[in-house]
Chains A and B, each alone.
Chain A
Amino acid sequence: MRNSFRAGALVALALVAAPALSASLNERLAPCLACHGEKGTSVMPEVPSLGGQPAPYMLVQLFAFREKQRLADPMNDLAQELTNDDLMVISEALAKLPPPVVSGKGADAAKIEKGRVAAQKHRCGFCHNPDMSGHDQIGRIAGQREDYLLKALREYKSGKRAGFDPAMLEVVRDMSDEDFVNVAHLLAHWN
């Protein structure tokens, strides 16, 4: 499973990194969408939805993957050959995907309420917008996959993910794992 995933990523690498003239933009984006969802909503475990993300946020993440400042298989390989122009073109294109579709399935009202209290206490909306839609280099978190949000928060806490700017490290310092669980649940069911 792991190997075939990796082999797939290498094929994808060849496509994403192909010179602009020999592959259309859509062909170059196909490997991205194969995992992250054709229409902005990911159905793959721990793979984030890219729909509705601000272009500068996408650019910064792609840059961090290329420079190995953020480690996440297979993204480091995929971004390895991209030029600065590639990063800008791809991030602009991906930013046009529609915001992820939020399903009400599995919503736990008590968890959502606890998540709301924690999100307010830790000022999520101050940076991510009151509707959690993100702006500039700050990502959209409304409607994001719950497992990915939880993974990201835990990685900030453990130091595995440093962030482009360390703003999130400061936020998670005073958050408990229970806060992470509740906030991730709130955001995944955001409406």
Chain B
Amino acid sequence: MPLYLTNPAPGQIGGCQNNPSVVPSGKPGEDGMSSIRKCAVFVCAALWTSTVLGQQTPVGGPPQNQAATKLGPIVGSPIPVSADKLPVAKLKVPAGFKVEVYASGVANARSLAVSDKGTVFVGSRLVGAVHAIRIKDGKTEVKPLVSGLQRPNGVAFHKGTLYIAEISRISRIDNVEDKLGTAPKPTVINEQFPKDEQHGWKFIGIGPDEKLYVPVGAPGNVLVPDYKTHAHIRRMNLDGSGMEIIAEGQRNSVGFDWNPVTKEMYFTDNGRDWVSEDGPEDELNRVRANGKKHFGFPYCHQGNFRDPEFGWGMNCADYEPPVALLGGHGASLGMRFYTGSMFPAEYKDAAFIVRHGSWNRTNKIGGDILLAKFNPDGTVKSLEPFLTGFLQDNTYVGRPVDVAQLADGSLLLSDDFNGAVYRISYAK
């Protein structure tokens, strides 16, 4: 049973709080939605009509004072922070785990891809480069592989080939590890993508079917998209041919992976902004073979929340519901299932979900990694924080983006705010 699918009951507006923080775990048979969350949803419903349509001085709308500036987007420097200034000592992980700096000087480090030889490729959103990290003679070497690309956020590695996603095209570099340091020219395999900057940067991944999956975001906060061109997930053959749409009604997914047990694809999706401090919440979604192929955007958010502009008369039951909710505006990005053997047995086949951290909130959430555990049927059993500490006193000291597993079972984590990659390991 999906989590959090009960509509809020009227009359719960009193005593609402602003900061629901981390999502509570839901148990099968319960609706899994805390009263605080129900409250928050109800408050949204009561207040937003005057705010999202941009009318003046909405009653109870977003603050019109200095607190409002806490709602603005936060972008790190294009110049990486030096290793000694990285916030690694502030990061908290469960007992037995350790976080260390794996590589600094990786400008605007975003998506991660690890080769079978251990080279780590790192995409970027703001600096136009894909970097390669290698450990050579015990020393970490960070070098740009290619530069001058248009927001090359997405990278994927498969059988010697690196795939790179820019805003409107996908390219590949074959035998990439033989070409490090030679500024290889990527070969474009598909450029049939919209050119929109908004939600145009992409995460990519290769599925168990050996196809390349590419999401296309909605070109704005909230709008009715043309589903033939936007707000969907596509897949294609590894040479760029045979492109097809496999899911639609996603707003902006910047992370996905396949459940190693059920082989189903799971993806994070970022909820719309400017409705309320708390929501709608980001989603963890599952693409089921027999499920609905539309995930609700822009009509129904978080499985139970009809959009104030576009949701009138729509029915949330018409759309595939999320399997978990990840917090409002938390910017859930990269996610990977854990298949290694370094971490304790309870981590096997669980998923790490990275929350970049919110911008459209006065009291920020995110800047952490959540751990999702699954039932054998693929529903979410529990959701809890795994790594925290990037958010200190409502200010970011770093912003995590993506995770990737190394061959030894340790986990890498990228941070685009500081331009760094960390390594999380476990020892009894």
Contacts and interface: CB of A to CB of B under 8 A. Distances in A.
Interface of A: 56, 59-60, 63, 67-69, 84, 87-88, 117, 120-123, 125-130, 135-138, 159, 162-167, 169-170, 173-174
B238 interface: no
A67 B128 contact: yes
Nearest to A69: B128
B69 A137 contact: no
Contacts of B182: none
A60 B148 CA distance: 16
Given A121-B56, A126-B62, 12 more contacts: A63-B78, A67-B128, A69-B128, A88-B79, A120-B56, A125-B68, A126-B68, A129-B69, A130-B64, A135-B72, A138-B72, A167-B72
A155 B79 CA distance: 26
B77 A59 contact: yes
B181 interface: no
Contacts of A60: 75, 77-78
A114 to B, nearest CB: 13
A174 to B, nearest CB: 8
B353 interface: no
Q: Which 10 A-B pairs have the closest CB atoms?
A: A127-B72, A166-B197, A121-B54, A63-B78, A126-B68, A165-B75, A84-B79, A126-B71, A167-B73, A137-B75
Nearest to B126: A164
B199 to A, nearest CB: 8
B66 interface: yes
Contacts of B148: 67-68
Contacts of A159: 197
Nearest to B72: A127
A122 B221 CA distance: 13
Contact of A126 (B72, B74, B79, B127): B72
Given A63-B79, A122-B54, A127 B73 contact: yes
Contact of A130 (B57, B66, B198, B220): B66
- Which among B56, B75, B77, B78 has the highest number of chain A CB atoms within 10 Å? B78
B241 interface: no
29 contacts: A56-B77, A60-B77, A60-B78, A63-B78, A63-B127, A67-B78, A69-B128, A84-B79, A88-B79, A120-B56, A120-B64, A121-B54, A126-B68, A126-B71, A127-B72, A127-B73, A129-B69, A130-B64, A130-B66, A130-B68, A135-B69, A136-B75, A137-B75, A137-B77, A138-B72, A164-B126, A167-B72, A169-B198, A170-B221
Contacts of B200: 166
Contacts of A69: 128
Contacts of A128: 69, 72
Nearest to A84: B79
B65 interface: yes
Given A67-B128, A173-B220, A126 B77 contact: no
A170 B74 CA distance: 15
B74 A136 contact: yes
A135 B70 CA distance: 11
A170 B128 contact: no
Nearest to A121: B54
Nearest to B221: A170
A87 B126 contact: no
Given A120-B56, A165-B126, A127 B69 contact: yes
Contacts of B73: 127, 138, 165, 167
Given A88-B79, A136-B74, A169 B69 contact: no
A170 B79 contact: no
Nearest to A156: B197
A58 B189 CA distance: 37
A172 to B, nearest CB: 11
Interface string B142-177: 000000100000000000000000000000000000
Contacts of B74: 136
A88 B73 CA distance: 21
A138 B73 CA distance: 9
Contacts of B68: 123, 125-126, 130
Contacts of A68: 148
Interface string B8-45: 00000000000000000000000000000000000000
A87 B68 CA distance: 30
A59 B68 CA distance: 24
A87 B65 contact: no
B200 to A, nearest CB: 8
A113 B220 CA distance: 28
A169 B73 CA distance: 13
Contacts of A165: 73, 75, 126
Interface in B218-276: 220-221
Contacts of B54: 121-123, 174
B129 to A, nearest CB: 9
Contacts of B197: 159, 162-163, 166, 169
Contacts of A129: 66, 69
